[in-house]
């Protein structure tokens, strides 16, 4: 076996500290401990033990830390003097971790656990530390064994003890205090305690990650659904894939199970299937598997017990099978704790957890998840609809309500007839009224026709004939009309469709003069004929008719408009609901003719007529369309009014797609208002939910989630926005290149805000790849520049340089983007010395800055030559020139500083001046810095008050550089002159705080 050298062990420890947490890091850390012990290097051995303890802590093997900690404690007891102040502090800090690990290890006897607390208290007291951490550890052990009196005493003592260097951070302490309140049934108090952590005021390595998960059920129990939704979306993003946070992952899965998001919970489980196997830390396993069991039980209750779940130990399992396996292993762990503790506290709490019932039917989360297979159960009506509930009274009353809804064309009719059908099917056939049986068959035939069933025509014919047999000619006439509509929908020959339409009109006209519905049946047949004839004419005109809709071309629209107008005139008094329908069609014809101003009053009249007729649900489509048209003609206030009216009138609509479209329309309008983001998010969230219900997740659902993400981003909720957008990204990428580029750029912006530069750069580059075939190179150039900035932030210098150079090449192709060129050149200049501070790198940086100045000077010259009599503003170009001079001065300062550090022997890197033997004239560089910043300041002064901040920066820079070369008075004079100038300016011209900053800088310069 090869023995590692000290240098190899030290290098291995450095690499291990930066490795991802998990079993691989732990195994490497164990090897390093053995290697350090083998060479007999005491300090290195102690360092390796400390590293191993930390590696275990941040993994699912935290209970393994007991052995290395015991060995490290032995080292301390043998020679406390070998531990410096920091090493000793680290050792005592780890006592708390070990106390938790002992409490979480059922194989350690209870007396040993209590004895460890006594030992911890003794050592803390001797070392002069507060008892605060000891009392917290005592509280949790007492709570675990069911000694509530002792737990309460320890809780009070914990809060009463002073905080010192050994106390947990505020975030972790608040987590514990709130968790204790939850166990005592006080969710509100817990959330109050957690607030500083949840808002980001108090944070640490694993907070607010853990608390965002822990707060989910208390929020649900208190009805604070918006916060619960946000905590899940944001918190899961933080916890995903983190081995030490598996208990938090379990809480997110449990939350999904109890909030009607079982499919989302199943997806999270699948993402963490690799962690399903038994864990070394059995307490973490119990917490993780407990959340999974809540989900599996809920899925079984919903009829998915035989569906495949994730494999366990490499063996495929159904949902029910996995539930039984995990339940058995979890109960075995619980019983081991109970045996150790002498109580049933652990198993009691575990059983209570996995038997929890849902806290809300469905809480839309915004993120996309694949729908579960639909079980064969009745689908309830949407929660937002005012659908008449199936009465507890008899069938007769239910049938009457269903027939009334049918005649009123009420959206609730389908749900009512579905319930009637269920009840009729449960009766013996000879007990069913023949007319009722015909009505049920009629409704089912209609549903078949809507769904495009192959036997729809056959079903409708049978219904027609049955009604005729029963003497219900008005119902037979309607069935005949539906036959014509079904034929058109199924693509029958035009001749056949016209025959059926003529038969329907004839059947309606043949009704007895005294039949109350005769006029309605005739009108409905006429309107259907107008609609279908228009379709047939366009069909017979050929495919070119479908694509040539330039303004001024009629294509039969004039004939259609005339027919519809005549229909409205004939029936506006007698049948206002049908007149409203015709008027909406007129509005659509006007739009197809390119005349939105004519369409708007028609759509408004249609909606008003429907509402007046007592059928507000019929106004919804016209109002939604009107809102969209109003936005297209830049009348947003009226558009919002129309969309809100549509939302109001949609209360009784049962169709999920309509509910979704109404809300998405309003959300899109609100998002364009400066103050509309919060409400837009609310409506977009609900729209996404309704699109999912309508099986339109990949279409309308994707667009709703895009609006939701944009609304969240406007509110500063970048994590929520990114999670929502990423969940639906594959859907959005299927909606054309333009949207693909737009959404990837948007996601890149969000990831940049979340300080994830690598991921942001990836999205920008993917967007640029799509845009590279476009005729206009500017989008690709801008995206390449954005990617370069993020690659630079990620310290991927070579990749950043390549992206900047590609962007520069593209912008130069356009020939009209000097500012973009200059900014890229400056960025490249800053990158040049980052990996090597040798002479060539500094020369390259200066060359690039000089190129930037040359580009600007040429652009200014061209601008002056082409400026008209009004003298177009050249300020942006001049400001960029001043900024270029300032940045060149800063690069020169970097060079001087690098040289001075290399001469001191500190912070030297391969290739800097001390290595290549070059000489640096520091005095000349400092003088050049002063000249550059002075010129930049003078140019900013010419540009006026809008650049006072930039001007102050230049003057400050010049003043401090003067001090560097021993000209303190000159620098102070320069800055004092600017301060006097600022004081003489009119009130309101100088930005707030600028004068104070300048005076503070002068005072520092003179001190």
Classify each residue of 591-621 as buried b or exposed e, where b means 16 or more C-beta atoms within 10 Å of its C-beta: bebeebeebbebbbbbbbbbbebebbbbbbb
- Give the pLDDT score at 537: 86
Give tens-digit pLDDT for 614-645. Answer: 999 999 999 999 999 999 999 999 999 999 99
Secondary structure (3-state) at 688: helix
Q: What is the per-residue pLDDT for 374?
A: 66
What is the secondary structure of 410-421 as a DSSP string?
-TTHHHHHHHHH
Q: What is the pLDDT of residue 968?
A: 85
Least confident of 21-25, 695-699, 744-748, 882-886: 21-25
Q: With bands split at pLDDT 50, 70 and 90, how would you rate the model's confidence at 899?
A: confident
Give dist(CA 990, CA 998) in Å, integer.
12
Radius of gyration of the chain from its Cα atoms, rounded to whole angstroms: 37
Q: Domain coordinates of the chain in residue numbers?
A: 1-83, 849-863+875-898+922-1006
Distances (CA, A) of 657 to 82, 257, 382: 72, 25, 11
Sign of CA dihedral 873, 876, 882, 885: negative
CA 954 – CA 862 distance, rounded (Å) = 27
Q: Is residue 423 within a helix (H) or strand (E), and if so which, with residue range?
A: helix 413-425
> In whole angstroms, what is the distance from residue 630 CA to residue 641 CA?
10
Residue range 475-493: mean pLDDT, rounded: 94
* Cα gap 1007→1005, rounded to integer Å: 6
For the ranges 61-65, 548-552, 662-666, 996-1000, which has the lowest average pLDDT?
548-552
For every residue of 442-485, DSSP letters joined together read: HHHHHHHHHTT-TTHHHHHHHHHHHHHHTT-HHHHHHHHHHHHH
Residue partners of 574: CB distance under 8 A and separation at least 6: 519, 523
In this predicted model, what pLDDT tens digit does every residue of 378-431 receive, in sequence order?
333 333 333 333 444 589 999 999 999 998 899 999 999 999 999 999 999 889
Query: What is residue 794's predicted lDDT score, i.e. its pLDDT?
Result: 95
The least confident of 108-122, 172-186, 392-406, 877-891 is 392-406
**Residues written for the chain:** 1007
pLDDT at 781 over 60: yes
pLDDT at 541: 76
Instruction: Tell me the three state secondary structure of residue 530.
Output: helix
pLDDT digits (tens, 9 = 90+) for 870-880: 556 889 999 99
Between 313 and 365, the higher pLDDT residue: 365
Strand partners, 318: 308
Q: Which of 2-6, 453-457, 591-595 has the lowest mean pLDDT?
A: 2-6
Burial class from Cβ neighbours inside 10 Å (0-12, 13-18, 19+) for residue 440 reads buried
pLDDT band at 850 (very low <50, low <70, confident <90, very high): very high
Query: Could you tell me the CA-to-CA distances from 450 to 10, 415, 445, 447, 479 in Å, in that order?
Result: 73, 15, 9, 5, 13
In this structure, are residues 744 and 764 in contact, taking their beta carbons and an 8 Å threshold?
yes
The Cα 612–Cα 607 span in angstroms is 9
Q: Which residues pair with 312 in a beta bridge?
A: 315
Average pLDDT over residues 866-893: 86
Give dist(CA 1001, CA 963) in Å, integer: 13
Distance of alpha carbon 896 from alpha carbon 919, whole angstroms:
11
Residue 512 DSSP code: -
Q: Is the N-terminal amide bond of 208 cis, ω within 30° of 0?
A: yes
**Please, what is the average pLDDT of the chain?**
91
């Amino acid at each position: 076996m090869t023995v590692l050298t000290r240098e190899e062990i030290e290098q291995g420890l450095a690499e291990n500290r930066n490795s991802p947490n998990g079993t691989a890091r732990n195994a490497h850390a164990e090897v390093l401990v053995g290697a350090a012990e083998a060479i007999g290097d005491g300090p290195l051995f102690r360092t390796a033990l400390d590293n191993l303890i930390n590696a275990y802590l941040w993994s699912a093997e935290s209970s393994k830390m007991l052995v290395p900690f015991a060995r490290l404690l032995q080292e301390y007891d043998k020679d406390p003097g070998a531990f410096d102040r920091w090493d000793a502090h680290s050792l005592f800090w780890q006592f708390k971790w070990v106390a938790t690990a002992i409490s979480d290890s059922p194989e350690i006897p209870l007396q040993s656990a209590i004895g460890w607390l006594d030992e911890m208290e003794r050592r803390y007291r001797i070392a002069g530390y507060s008892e605060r951490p000891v009392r917290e550890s005592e509280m949790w052990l007492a709570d675990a064994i069911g000694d509530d009196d002792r737990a309460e005493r320890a809780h009070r003592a914990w809060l009463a003890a002073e905080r010192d260097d050994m106390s947990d951070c505020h975030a972790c302490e608040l987590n514990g205090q709130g968790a204790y309140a939850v166990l005592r049934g006080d969710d509100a108090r817990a959330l109050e305690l957690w607030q500083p952590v949840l808002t980001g005021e108090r944070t640490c390595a694993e907070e607010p990650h853990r608390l965002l998960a822990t707060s989910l059920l208390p929020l649900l129990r208190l009805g604070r659904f918006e916060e619960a939704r946000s905590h899940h979306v944001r918190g899961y993003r933080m916890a995903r894939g983190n081995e030490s946070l598996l208990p938090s992952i379990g809480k997110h899965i449990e939350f999904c199970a109890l909030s009607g998001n079982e499919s989302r919970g199943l997806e999270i489980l699948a993402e963490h299937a690799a962690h399903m196997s038994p864990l070394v830390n059995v307490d973490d396993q119990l917490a993780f598997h407990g959340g999974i069991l809540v989900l599996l039980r809920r899925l079984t209750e919903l009829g998915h017990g035989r569906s495949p779940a994730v494999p366990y130990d490499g063996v495929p399992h159904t949902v029910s099978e996995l539930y039984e396996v995990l339940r058995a292993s979890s109960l075995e762990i619980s019983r081991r704790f109970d045996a150790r503790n002498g109580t049933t506290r652990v198993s009691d709490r575990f059983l209570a957890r996995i038997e929890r019932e849902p806290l809300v039917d469905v809480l839309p989360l915004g993120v996309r998840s694949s729908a579960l297979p639909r079980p064969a159960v009745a689908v309830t009506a949407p929660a937002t609809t005012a659908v008449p509930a199936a009465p507890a009274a008899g069938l007769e009353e239910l049938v009457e309500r269903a027939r009334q809804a049918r005649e009123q064309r009420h959206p609730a009719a389908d749900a009512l007839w579905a319930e009637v059908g269920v009840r009729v099917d449960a009766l013996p056939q000879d007990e069913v009224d023949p007319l009722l049986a015909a009505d049920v068959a009629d409704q089912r035939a209609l549903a078949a026709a809507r769904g495009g069933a192959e036997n729809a025509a056959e079903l409708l014919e049978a219904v027609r004939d049955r009604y005729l047999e029963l003497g219900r000619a008005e119902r037979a006439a309607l069935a005949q009309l539906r036959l014509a509509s079904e034929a058109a929908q199924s693509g029958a020959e035009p001749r056949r469709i016209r025959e059926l339409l003529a038969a329907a009109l004839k059947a309606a006209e043949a009704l007895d003069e005294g039949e109350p519905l005769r006029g309605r049946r005739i009108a409905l047949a006429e309107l259907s004929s107008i609609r279908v004839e228009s379709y047939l004419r366009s069909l017979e005109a050929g495919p070119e008719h479908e694509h040539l809709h330039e303004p001024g071309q009629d294509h039969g629209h004039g004939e259609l408009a005339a027919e519809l107008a005549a229909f409205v005139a004939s029936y506006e008094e007698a049948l206002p609901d049908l007149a409203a329908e015709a008027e909406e069609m007129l509005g659509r014809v006007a739009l197809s003719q390119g005349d939105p101003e004519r369409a708007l009053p028609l759509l408004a009249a249609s909606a008003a007529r429907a509402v007046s007729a007592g059928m507000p649900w019929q106004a919804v489509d016209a109002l939604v369309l009107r809102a969209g048209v109003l936005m297209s003609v830049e009348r947003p206030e009226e558009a919002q009014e129309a969309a809100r009216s549509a939302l109001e009138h949609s209360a009784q609509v049962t169709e999920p797609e309509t509910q979704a479209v109404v809300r998405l329309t309003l959300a899109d309008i609100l998002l364009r208002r400066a103050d509309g983001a919060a409400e837009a998010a609310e409506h977009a969230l609900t729209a996404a939910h309704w699109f999912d219900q309508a099986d339109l997740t990949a279409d309308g659902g994707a667009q709703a989630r895009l609006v939701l993400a944009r609304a969240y981003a406007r509110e500063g909720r970048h994590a929520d926005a990114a999670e929502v957008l990423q969940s639906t990204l594959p859907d959005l990428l299927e909606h054309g290149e333009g949207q693909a580029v737009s959404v990837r750029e948007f996601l890149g912006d969000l990831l940049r805000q979340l300080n994830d530069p690598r991921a942001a750069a990836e999205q920008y580059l993917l967007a640029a790849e799509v845009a590279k075939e476009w005729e206009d190179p500017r989008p690709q150039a801008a995206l390449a520049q954005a990617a370069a900035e993020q690659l630079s932030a990620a310290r991927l210098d070579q990749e950043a340089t390549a992206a900047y150079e590609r962007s520069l090449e593209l912008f130069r192709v356009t020939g009209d983007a000097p500012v973009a060129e200059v900014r890229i050149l400056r960025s490249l200049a800053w990158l040049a010395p980052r990996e090597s501070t040798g002479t060539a790198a500094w020369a390259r940086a200066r060359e690039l800055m000089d190129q930037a100045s040359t580009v600007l000077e040429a652009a200014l010259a061209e601008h002056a030559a082409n400026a008209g009599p009004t003298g177009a503003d050249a300020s942006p170009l001049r400001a960029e020139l001043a900024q270029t001079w300032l940045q060149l001065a800063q690069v020169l300062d970097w060079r001087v500083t690098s040289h001075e550090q290399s001469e001191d022997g500190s912070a030297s890197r391969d290739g800097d001046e001390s290595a290549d033997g070059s000489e640096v004239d520091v005095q000349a560089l400092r003088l050049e810095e002063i000249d550059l910043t002075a010129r930049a300041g003078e140019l900013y002064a010419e540009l006026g008050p809008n650049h006072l901040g930039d001007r102050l920066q230049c003057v400050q820079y010049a003043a401090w550089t003067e001090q560097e070369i021993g000209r303190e008075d000159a620098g102070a004079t320069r800055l004092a002159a600017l301060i006097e100038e600022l004081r003489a300016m009119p009130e309101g011209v100088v930005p707030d705080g600028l004068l104070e900053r300048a005076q503070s800088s002068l005072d520092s310069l003179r001190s």
